[in-house]
Structure 1
Amino acid sequence: MAAALRGPGGRFRWRTWAAAAAAAAAAGGVRGAARSAAAGRQDYDLLVIGGGSGGLACAKEAAQLGKKVAVVDYVEPSPRGTRWGLGGTCVNVGCIPKKLMHQAALLGGMIRDAPHYGWAIQPVLHDWRTMAEAVQNHVKSLNWGHRVQLQDRKVKYFNIKAGFVNEHTVCGVAKDGKETLLSAEHIVIATGGRPRYPTHIEGALEYGITSDDIFWLKESPGKTLVVGASYVALECAGFLTGLGLDTTVMIRSIPLRGFDQQMSSLVTEYMASQGTRFLRGCTPSRVRRLPDGQLQVTWEDLTSGKEDMGTFNTVLWATGRIPETRSLNLEKAGVNINPNSQKILVDAQETTSVPHIYAIGDVAEGRPELTPTAIMAGKLLAQRLCGQSSDVMDYDNVPTTVFTPLEYGCVGLSEEEAVARHGEEHVEVYHAYYKPLEFTVAERDASQCYIKMVCLRKPPQLVLGLHFLGPNAGEVTQGFALGIKCGASYVQVMRTVGIHPTCAEEVAKLRISKRSGLDPTVTGC
C-alpha cells in the first residue's frame, strides 16, 4: 500500500506503506503516526467511514475521478446477534429485503384474486424459511457485488471499526483486536443509523427484536406485536399480515409522523381492513417470557390509564433510529453534533465544523433518511472534491414511497405543510377516490385508493405536492416527481395525456377540488 506525502506546492508524492510505518514507529507508534498525519502526511486523498449506500457512492465516484480512496466499515451485531455484510442498512436490513418481503405478501393477494380470473388454484400456504433463504441469498450477492465494485475501482476496503485520533486520522479496530491507523486529506462520515431500543421498558432489550433482525430470521416470527408508528413499523406489519401472520401494531400517538396525515389515516384504514390490528394511544411497559416461550406484553392505555396485556411470539420494536456517532470519537476531530439528536451538524455542502470532514446520509442533521438522497449527496460531494462540479444536493421535492399493503407515494409538500407555508386561502387541493381496474374483477375493496394534488391557488397553479395511495405507488410517483422538480403547474398536468387503463392516469384527471365540496369518487371507465 502506498502512502501520500504532501510535497512542495501542495502536490502529493508517494512512498510505500512500509516506509511510512517505519517512520511512524520511529515517531512513537500510533501516537507518533497520528502526529505525522497531522503534520501533513496522508495515506489517502479520501477516507470514507461507513459502507452504506451514500458512503459507497461517494467512494466509487471519487475513485473513478482519480482519487486514492479507502472505505472503512464495520457492522456491530444487533443485541440479538444478527450480522450482515457490506452495503449498509438499505441492502441488508432495509429497502431491499423489505421490498422483497412486501412482494411476497402482494403475491399472496394475487393468489387470492386468481380464481376470479379463471385460475383454478388449490389452497397454498406460505413458507417463511423458503422466502427468507431466497431474500438473504440475494442480499449476500449484493454484499459480494459491492466488494467487487470497490476492488474494480481500486478502492481499499477495511473491515474495521473506526474512531478519530485527530482531524486527519482514524484508528480502526478489527474483530481480532488488531489496530490500523489511516489518515486522509478529506474524510467523509457516512455511518448511518441503527434502530432505537426502548431500554426504559422492562424486557425490551432481552426479548424484543428490530428491523436489524426481522429480515434475517430463519423461522417465522409467528404472532407479532409491532411497536411504533413509523414507516418501518407499518411496512413490516403490512407484509407480516400479508404473509398470513397474526399482527398487531401499537401506536402511542399518530401514524407516519411527518407525512400527510389524511394519507396516513387511509394507509392504516386499509391495513386494518386487511387484518392488521391496531392498538392506538397505548404504550408498552413490560415484556416477560412465559414458561412456554411466549412473550407476555403489558401496556397502558393512555386515554383510560388502565393496564392491559397480551401474548405474542415476537415483539418488534420500530420506535425510531439513532445515528451511529457514539463510537466515532468526534470530539477528537472537533466535529460538532446536535446534542439532542446526536446527528452531525453540516452546511449545504455537507461540510461539518471541520472544513475537510463531511457527513452525508442519515448521520447528518436535517437530511431525509432516504437511500437515494444519500447516494446523490455522496456523488455530488465526490465531484466537488475532485473539482468536477460545484453542484450541491437539492433536498427539496424528494419523492419517496411507503411500501405498506396499499402503497403510499408522495413528493413535495403535505397539505398541512402547504397551508402552514402559504395560507389556506392560497392553496387548492384537487383529489379523487378511484378504483384500480385490476381490483374490479376480484371485487377488492378500493375505498382507500386516493390521490390528491396540492397546488397554489393563483394561476397557473404551481404544483406543491402530490400524494398517491394505490398499487405501484413508487412507479407512479417517480414520473410525476420529475415534473414537480421542473416546476409543473396544475394546468400542465391537466394537459398531459394519461395512459389508459392505468392508475397513474387518474393523476392527469384530477378535476374536483376540496374547496368545491363535490364528491371526488371516480365513476365509469
Structure 2
Amino acid sequence: MSKNPPQTAINSPIMGGNSTKPSFNPTKHPYQYDLIVIGGGSGGLACAREAAKLKAKVAICDVVTPSPKGTTWGLGGTCVNVGCIPKKLMHQSNLIKDCFEDAPTFGWNIAQNQTVKWDVLRDNIYDYINSLNFGYRLVLNKEGITYFNAYAEFEDEHKLKLTHPNDKTEEISAQCIVIAVGGRPRYLSIPGGTAKDALCITSDDIFSLPYAPGKTLCVGAGYIAMECAGFLSGFGYEVEVMARSAILRGFDSTVVDLIESNISSRNVKIMTATHPTKITLEKEGEPPLLSVTYENTEQKTTNEEKYNTVLIAIGRAPCTPGLSLEKVPHIKVDSEGYIITDLTERTGYPHIFAIGDCAKGRPQLTPPAIRAGNWLARRIYEKGFKKVVDYSCIPTTIFTPIEYGCCGMTEDEALQTYGSDLIEIYHKSASPLEFSLNKRDGEAIYAKLICLRKRGKEKVIGFHYLGPNAGEITQGFAMAVKRKALKDEFNELIGIHPTCAEIFTEMRITKGSQIAYVQTQC
C-alpha cells in the first residue's frame, strides 16, 4: 500500500539481461526439488502454488522471528497476519461506530456512547486469521508442496541450510530458488526506542495487543501510522501522531490536506516537524505508562508527554540479513538490503529470483507480489509464457477513516514531468447522499482527474478519490487509467445514480479556472 516506486530495470551482463524465458528442465537435474521458495507470504505462496500446478516439485520455507514484544504468527506473511487483513477489519469496526452515530437520524433507536471491547475485537480477528493460517497449510498439503517451518539460509547457489525451531538443521537443494522474505518494521535509534529496548510496539504487535492500547503515540508519517491513528481514535483512545515532516509524502497533496483535516476533526493530534528523542518506562502494567521526550525542529522546543502505547511506523526493512547472501556473491543488494533484480525478477544467478517487498524498486503491496510470484512460476515452467509484471500505474487505497484511493500520477508528479502547459486538472467535491441526513462536517467526497494534453485530446494519467468505498471505486476506474482512457470517455460514461462513483462521469471544472468545485449533494 505504499506509493508506487519506479520500476527497476537491470541490464547488466551478470544478470543475464532482461530475458523473459529462463530455460529449466525440471526432469533433468540432480537436486531434491525443482523449486524452493524462501518465505511464505502472499508472493511466495502464489509462486509455489502456481509452480506446483505446472507439475514442478516444490518446497516452501517459512518461519516468523518473534517481534521484540514476542508477537509471532503463522503461514501467510505480513498482509494476512499483521497487515492488510487485520487493518481492514479494525477499520471496518471504526466505520460501524460511525454508523451507530448516524443511526438515530435514520430512524434507529440505538444507545449512544457505545464503546469498543478491545479483547472481543482482537480475539475475533485472531481467530479469523488463525483459520487462514490453517487453510494455507491444508492447501499446501493438498497441492503436494512440502512445507518447512524453518529458517533458510544459503549454503551455495543451489543448496539451503534449514534451521528448525528446535535447532535441528538439515540441507535441501533445488534447481531454482525464489527469495520472497518480505520485510519487517524499522525501530527508532534513540534511547528506549530500539528493538532491544522492547518498550515500543509496531504494526507487528498492534492487532494482537493483549490489552487495550490506551493513550497512543503513533510515530511516523506514512499510511500505516495514519491508518492506525484513525481506527484507534475511533475506538475512543486518545491518539497523537508525531512526524518529522508532512504526512503521507508521495501522495496527492490536495487529498492529503483533506485527510489531515478530517482525521484532526476526529480528535487525532498531528505534530509535524517533531520527533522523539528518548522513551522511558514510567510504570509497568497493561497498559504500561511511558514517558516520551520529543523535539520540535521548527519551534526549537523540547517537551515531554506520557503515553500508554508508542507505536512506531517509520518504514520497513527487507528481511535479507540472515540469508547468508555472502555465500552467493552474485546476488547484489543495495545499501538497505534490497535485492537487485532485472525485469524478470532474476538476480545475478539465472536460477535465483527475488520477488515482493525484499526486491529493490518493487511496490510494497500484496497484489503486485502475488502477480510477480504467479507469473515467475509460469515463465519458468509454462511453455511460451513470457509476460513480465508492469509495476506502473498500480492502484492503491489508504484506509484512513475517510478513505483515499489513487492510481497513476499525483498532481505534483504530472506537473514536474510534463510541465503546466500540457497538464489539465479536473476536480469536484460533493456530499454523499448517505451523509445528507446526518450532516457530517468535513466528510465530502473529493475527486480529481489529472490529464495530459496530447494531439488535441486529454489522456487521464492520474485518478484520485477521497470518500466512502475508495478501494472498490478505485479498483474499477483503475482499468480506465491503465488502458489510457481519455477524459472524453469518462464524460461519455453514464453514471449510476445515486452513487459516489458517478462524480467521475460529470467533472467539468478545471483547477485552473478557479471556479468553485463544491456541490451540496451527490
Shift of 1:524: 5.1
Q: 1:514 aligns to what?
A: 511
Say yes or no: does 1:438 pair with 2:434.
Answer: yes
Shift of 1:203: 4.2
Shift of 1:232: 0.5
Closer/same/farther in 2, CA of residues 184 and 243 from structure 1, 3 Å limit: same
Closer/same/farther in 2, CA of residues 63 and 11 from structure 1, 3 Å limit: closer
Say yes or no: does 1:307 pair with 2:302.
Answer: yes
Q: 1:83 aligns to what?
A: 72
Q: Is the 8 A contact 2:54 2:382 kept in 1?
A: no
Write the distance in 1 (CA, Å) between the matches of 2:180 and 2:474. Answer: 27
Write the distance in 2 (CA, Å) between the matches of 1:373 and 1:407. Answer: 21
Say yes or no: does 1:12 pair with 2:27.
Answer: yes
Shift of 1:225: 0.3
Alignment of 1:219-230 (within 5 A): 219-230=211-222
Offset from partner CA, 1:83-110 (integer Å, 9 cap, x none): 1000000000000000000000110011
Write the distance in 2 (CA, Å) between the matches of 1:109 and 1:373. Answer: 32
Offset from partner CA, 1:331-368 (integer Å, 9 cap, x none): 21124344322100011101111111101100000000
Q: Percent identity?
A: 46
Closer/same/farther in 2, CA of residues 50 and 408 from structure 1, 3 Å limit: same
Q: Give unpaired runs (5+ residues) of structure 2.
A: 1-23
Say yes or no: does 1:119 pair with 2:115.
Answer: no
SS across alignment from 2:508: coil
Shift of 1:502: 0.6
Shift of 1:176: 0.7
Say yes or no: does 1:246 pair with 2:251.
Answer: no
Q: Is the 8 A contact 2:40 2:60 kept in 1?
A: yes
Offset from partner CA, 1:282-306 (integer Å, 9 cap, x none): 0000111114641010000111221
Say yes or no: does 1:171 pair with 2:161.
Answer: yes
**Higher relative CO (CA 8 A, sep ≥ 6), structure 1 or 2?**
2
Closer/same/farther in 2, CA of residues 457 and 294 from structure 1, 3 Å limit: same
Say yes or no: does 1:455 pair with 2:470.
Answer: no
TM-score of the superposed pair, with normalisation by structure 2: 0.92
Letter paired with 1:374: A
Q: 1:151 aligns to what?
A: 141
Q: 1:496 aligns to what?
A: 493
Q: Is the 8 A contact 1:296 1:310 kept in 2?
A: yes
SS across alignment from 1:441: coil
Alignment of 1:124-523 (within 5 A): 124-205=114-195, 206=197, 207-291=199-283, 293-388=288-383, 389-446=385-442, 449-458=445-454, 459-523=456-520
Greater shift after overlay, 154-163 or 118-127? 118-127
Greater shift after overlay, 146-155 or 254-263? 254-263
SS across alignment from 1:71: strand
Structure number with higher helix proportion? 1
Write the distance in 2 (CA, Å) between the matches of 1:191 and 1:10. Answer: 26
TM-score of the superposed pair, with normalisation by structure 1: 0.91
SS across alignment from 2:310: strand
Write the distance in 2 (CA, Å) between the matches of 1:87 and 1:258. Answer: 28
Letter paired with 1:302: T
Letter paired with 1:318: A
Q: Is the 8 A contact 2:160 2:172 kept in 1?
A: yes
Write the distance in 2 (CA, Å) between the matches of 1:510 and 1:181. Answer: 61
Specify the structure having the higher radius of gyration (Cα): 1
Shift of 1:11: 6.6
Q: Which of 54, 59, 68 lines up with 1:70 in the alignment?
A: 59
Write the distance in 2 (CA, Å) between the matches of 1:104 and 1:139. Answer: 16
- How large is the Cα RMSD of the aligned pairs? 1.4
Q: Is the 8 A contact 2:432 2:521 kept in 1?
A: no
Q: Is the 8 A contact 1:322 1:342 kept in 2?
A: yes
Write the distance in 2 (CA, Å) between the matches of 1:286 and 1:11. Answer: 55
Aligned residue pair count: 491
Shift of 1:522: 2.0
Write the distance in 1 (CA, Å) between the matches of 2:231 and 2:26. Answer: 55
SS across alignment from 1:85: coil
Greater shift after overlay, 488-497 or 441-450? 441-450
Offset from partner CA, 1:348-406 (integer Å, 9 cap, x none): 10111111110110000000000000001110101000134100001111000000000
Q: Is the 8 A contact 1:323 1:363 kept in 2?
A: yes
Say yes or no: does 1:93 pair with 2:46.
Answer: no
Q: Give unpaired runs (5+ residues) of structure 1.
A: 1-8, 14-39
Closer/same/farther in 2, CA of residues 72 and 335 from structure 1, 3 Å limit: farther
Q: Is the 8 A contact 1:294 1:312 kept in 2?
A: yes
Write the distance in 2 (CA, Å) between the matches of 1:190 and 1:320. Answer: 18
Q: 1:36 aligns to what?
A: none
Write the distance in 2 (CA, Å) between the matches of 1:500 and 1:362. Answer: 40
Q: Is the 8 A contact 1:247 1:276 kept in 2?
A: yes
Q: Is the 8 A contact 2:430 2:521 kept in 1?
A: no
Q: Is the 8 A contact 1:433 1:447 kept in 2?
A: no
Offset from partner CA, 1:4-26 (integer Å, 9 cap, x none): xxxxx96736xxxxxxxxxxxxx
Greater shift after overlay, 192-201 or 370-379? 192-201
SS across alignment from 2:361: coil
Write the distance in 2 (CA, Å) between the matches of 1:257 and 1:46. Answer: 39
Write the distance in 2 (CA, Å) between the matches of 1:148 and 1:421. Answer: 49
Letter paired with 2:451: C
Closer/same/farther in 2, CA of residues 10 and 449 from structure 1, 3 Å limit: closer
Q: Is the 8 A contact 1:167 1:334 kept in 2?
A: no
Write the distance in 1 (CA, Å) between the matches of 2:232 and 2:513. Answer: 40
